[in-house]
Amino acid sequence: METFHNKQGYKRIFKENKLTLGLFIPIEAYSGSIPSMEKHIQMAQKAEELGFGALWVRDIPLFDPYFGDVGQIYDPWIYLGYLTAHTKKITLGTGSIVFPLRHPIHLAKAATSIDQLSKGRLVLGIASGDRQVEFPAFNINIPSRGEAFRETYYYFKQLLNEDFPMIDSQVGQIHRNAGVLPKPYHSSDIPLIITGSSRQPFDWIAANGDGWMYYPRSIHQQSLSVQAWREATSTFKPFLQSLYIDLTEDPDTEPSPIHLGFRLGRKHLIHFLKSLEKIGVNHVMLNLKYGQRDAEKVMEELANEVLPHFPSFD
């Protein structure tokens, strides 16, 4: 994609027919909903030093004890700013910012600020949201969130791409000289990776997304998703997925299912990731939440034994 060939965050993790690896923050194993966040910056810096392609943060405004996870706890924009100051080259991604819950001006101001301060390292995963408790709290009608997602998307794109946009939207109007600064770093845009369906038609996602983030599936099921994505897009747009892993000390442990992933040894993990690469998956976001080993040791094993097969593009 020519638009993003100079974007450091994009080009570090995305290349046609290649797969790279990133890590969800917090990089720790924990039970329940709330992580400790101990040594979280040291772990992020170590991930960069070890050669992981990206760090991913989540957007979870409210603690819902019935949902099972609050991600990194901190506000994603403030936390991305903190990560920007403490890292140098690793891609900073969101998985994902819930667009209907925020005004597009706030989104544009925050995203372009992070993109400038990080020198183009931001990859923005976006979604319509899936936590039912959030929408009434924000006074948003749950059935209308698909429309709200589109309206916010169009408004956001205009703010990034035009100096003084004329906007007449259900979420706001700009009818005189006004715009958002800063603009994105090294480009007039920021890569927008759409998550799941985001309550949109598939053709709309293919036309308007700069990539597609999907959920873990079997190799056969995921190959069908990737094939549909490639057929719907005329130029290369990356396909991403998350994967929870509980990496065992025994490298030969056969895979057994856990929530959205597997408990397995590294040999089977490498085989599974190579299968994903073969069908066209371009980036896998590993999540260590359900691990039974120390996350730092797991990260080191991944870096020494797995990452060499799936290097990022410095």
pLDDT in tens, 56-95: 999 999 999 888 899 999 999 999 999 999 999 999 999 9
Examine the pLDDT at 5 and tell me if it is beyond 90: no
Residue type at 202 in one-letter notation: F
Residue type at 54 in one-letter notation: A
The structural domains of the chain, with segments of one domain joined by +, span 2-309
Cβ atoms 248, 294 nearer than 8 A:
no
Q: Which residue has the higher pLDDT, 66 or 201?
A: 201
pLDDT in tens, 242-253: 999 999 999 999
Residue type at 63 in one-letter notation: F
Task: Name, in order, each residue with C-beta under 8 angstroms of 172's C-beta and a sequence gap of 6 or more.
Answer: 103, 104, 105, 155
pLDDT in tens, 202-221: 999 999 999 999 999 999 99
Task: State the average pLDDT for the chain.
Answer: 96
**C-alpha–C-alpha distance, residues 215 and 249, integer Å:** 26
pLDDT in tens, 223-279: 999 999 999 999 999 999 999 999 999 999 999 999 999 999 999 999 999 999 999
Torsion of CA 218, 220, 225, 229, to 10 degrees: 130
**pLDDT reported for residue 36:** 97
Least confident of 39-48, 138-147, 159-168: 138-147
Examine the pLDDT at 152 and tell me if it is beyond 60: yes
Least confident of 131-145, 166-180, 281-295: 131-145
Q: Read off the tokens for 34.
A: 């709330």
Q: In CATH, which of 3.90.550.10, 3.30.110.70, 3.40.50.970, 3.20.20.30 is domain 2-309?
A: 3.20.20.30
Task: Name, in order, each residue with C-beta under 8 angstroms of 48's C-beta and a sequence gap of 6 or more.
Answer: 55, 87, 88, 89, 90
**C-alpha–C-alpha distance, residues 138 and 206, integer Å:** 29
**C-alpha–C-alpha distance, residues 261 and 264, integer Å:** 9
**pLDDT reported for residue 156:** 98
**pLDDT reported for residue 137:** 94
Reported as a pLDDT band with limits 50, 70 and 90, residue 6 is: confident
**pLDDT reported for residue 78:** 98
**pLDDT reported for residue 2:** 52
